[in-house]
Amino acid sequence: MPERDKTIAIIGQGYVGLPLAMAAIGAGWSVIGVENSPAKFEEISRGSSPVEDVADSLIQAGQKSGKYKVSNSSSAVKDASIVIICVPTPLDEKRAPDLAILESAVKGIAPHLAFGTLVISESTSYPGTVRDVVKPLIEKLKSAPDVKIDIAVAPERVNPGDAKYHQKNTPRLVGGLDAQSTTRAVDFYSTICDQVVQVSSPEVAETAKLLENTFRLVNIALVNQLAQLCGDQNINVHEVIDAAASKPYGFMKFTPSVGVGGHCIPVDPMYLSWWAEKNGKNASIIEESDEINLGMPIYVAKRVRELLPSTAKRKRVLILGVAYKPGVKDVRETPVTALRNDLISHGCEVAWIDPLVSEWEGLKPADASWECDVAVVATAQPGLPIAAIAARGVPILDCTGVFKDLPNVTRL
Ligand SMILES: NC(=O)c1ccc[n+]([C@@H]2O[C@H](COP(=O)([O-])OP(=O)(O)OC[C@H]3O[C@@H](n4cnc5c(N)ncnc54)[C@H](O)[C@@H]3O)[C@@H](O)[C@H]2O)c1
């Protein structure tokens, strides 16, 4: 058994927890990865990675060296001096924060935390979550009243599929509930990151994380609305954006799309707007941006239908790329679902292809030779047979802006 002082436990071995585990092993830590999904636990146990950014060989090397083991029991945290929570924080059916998974994870570990353990939450949530939700649960459920637990927040900023920015070169925000918690969390992240940014409270770290993703949501909504404004005015929105981007300061380029997807951009800003409402305020810019982005698949579906040849009887539409962004197989919150549903509700026959996704909503991908009346590129996934489809004379609506040089392609 590795020494407790040099052992960390990571709750949740998904997009955030597994890369963190591998980075920590690289920095000399022994890691216990706690994963409660039986399928993921089994997959990782046999040395196979459920996350694109983590190679199987890394997991296998960790297992072989004894530096990494995966457990399906929260009680495994008893052997760690630092416990890092990396579990999902989704929205409920009213698009309000759903902290049930986070609360359940904290309840699971609290009775097993040894004296002096540092608990860090990397899960994204609204300001005050760690102070008002995580801490009281730990205090209530820890094994004895005199078991001292340090607590901090260090929001994850990982960008799945990003070859340039990873754990080491992405600065890490850290805020603890007291000076000791902060110092210990800063010391830990300094072993895996080049730069740790210490802030004065967990609430500053929690709010900064929400600001980062709200910034993206709002700017994406801005260009998506501009795409709709330019769409019927014979102004190419991509040319407009490129022209604006020639300004060397004060402008950041965002491009139109089918909408926003994944676990972060459609979700995190809603935590901020829910928190504003809880405090009697209204984050109207978030609500408006959310509405614009949610409306994009419906707008795209209309543009697709406009490209259908008038002779098309079955109105067969092929969707190219269904993951929420290129380079990943993640289909969580993908806006392509709304696009597909809207096309079907307008009588279209819809099939899809995505080289990284083997099954989507219980459906298998179509064959690239499927005869369609129109194709729509929703996500610029590598390996899509777009050139071959364009060469067949099929009209294509490109929502990604990437395929402008192919014949028969109309850009959003
Ligand atoms: N994915 C991203 O790009 C990203 C980026 C930054 C921040 N975040 C935030 O990080 C957090 C985790 O997101 P993710 O994308 O890694 O989620 P994920 O679904 O990929 O992974 C979370 C894992 O936690 C496991 N889990 C849930 N409850 C558990 C428990 N009690 N014990 C053990 N395992 C448990 C799940 O089975 C799952 O495998 C969320 O708050 C998210 O908002 C995600």
How many angstroms does the Cα of residue 200 sit away from the middle of ligand 1? 26
With H, G, I as helix, E, B as strand and everything else as coil, classify residue 179.
Answer: helix
CA distance 35 to 41: 6
Residue 40 counted as domain residue: yes
User: Within 10 A of 284 (CB to CB), how many other CB atoms are there?
Assistant: 10
> Looking at residue 365, what is its pLDDT?
97
Query: Domain with 334 in it: what CATH number?
Result: 3.40.50.720
Residue 275 counted as domain residue: yes
Q: Which two tokens stand for residue 112?
A: 């097993």
Residue 240 counted as domain residue: no
Residue 221 counted as domain residue: no
Residue-range definition of the domain harbouring residue 359: 254-411
With H, G, I as helix, E, B as strand and everything else as coil, classify residue 310.
Answer: coil
> Looking at residue 33, what is its pLDDT?
98
Sheet holding 7-11, edge to edge: 68-71, 30-34, 7-11, 82-85, 118-121, 150-153, 172-176, 196-198
> Looking at residue 160, what is its pLDDT?
79
Residue 229 counted as domain residue: no
Residue 217 counted as domain residue: no
CA distance 288 to 212: 17
For residues 131 and 277, state if they share a domain: no
Closest to 316 in 3D by CA, of 345, 298, 342, 343: 343
CA distance 33 to 83: 10
Atom of ligand 1 nearest to the CA of 17: 16
For residues 295 and 376, state if they share a domain: yes
Residue 206 counted as domain residue: no
CA distance 251 to 230: 19
Q: CA of 36: how far to CAs of 156, 231, 410, in Å?
A: 20, 47, 45
pLDDT in tens, 149-192: 999 999 999 887 788 998 899 999 999 999 999 999 999 999 99
For residues 185 and 292, state if they share a domain: no
pTM of the predicted model as reported, rounded to 2 decimal places: 0.92
87 Cβ partners below 8 Å, 6+ apart? 11, 12, 17, 101, 102, 105, 123
**C-alpha 352, offset from chain centre:** 22
> Looking at residue 53, what is its pLDDT?
85
CA distance 354 to 344: 19
For residues 171 and 259, state if they share a domain: no
For residues 189 and 271, state if they share a domain: no
pLDDT in tens, 140-150: 999 999 999 99
Residue nearest to atom 36 of ligand 1 (CA): 12
CA distance 155 to 164: 19
For residues 189 and 259, state if they share a domain: no
> Looking at residue 1, what is its pLDDT?
57
Q: How many domains does the chain contain in total? A: 2
With H, G, I as helix, E, B as strand and everything else as coil, classify residue 172.
Answer: strand
For residues 333 and 187, state if they share a domain: no
For residues 159 and 260, state if they share a domain: no
For residues 260 and 334, state if they share a domain: yes
> Looking at residue 312, what is its pLDDT?
87
- Any residues with Cβ below 6 Å from ligand 1, and which? 11-17, 34-37, 40, 86-89, 101, 104-105, 108, 122-124, 156-158, 160, 263-264
For residues 8 and 97, state if they share a domain: yes
CA distance 60 to 72: 18
List the Cα angle 313/316/320 in 5-degree steps: 160
Cβ(378)–Cβ(396) below 8 Å: no
> Looking at residue 232, what is its pLDDT?
87
DSSP assignment letter at 177: S
The list of the chain residues with pLDDT below 70 reads 1
Query: Which one of 200, 233, 264 terminates a domain?
Result: 200
Cβ(328)–Cβ(158) below 8 Å: no
Residue nearest to atom 26 of ligand 1 (CA): 12
Residue 220 counted as domain residue: no
Which residue blocks in 4-132 are alpha helix, DSSP H? 17-26, 38-45, 56-65, 100-109, 129
Told to judge if 86 belongs to the known catalytic residues of this protein, a careful annotator would answer no
For residues 331 and 404, state if they share a domain: yes
**Active-site residue identified among 86, 264, 348, 399:** 264
Residue nearest to atom 37 of ligand 1 (CA): 37
For residues 265 and 376, state if they share a domain: yes
Residue nearest to atom 10 of ligand 1 (CA): 123
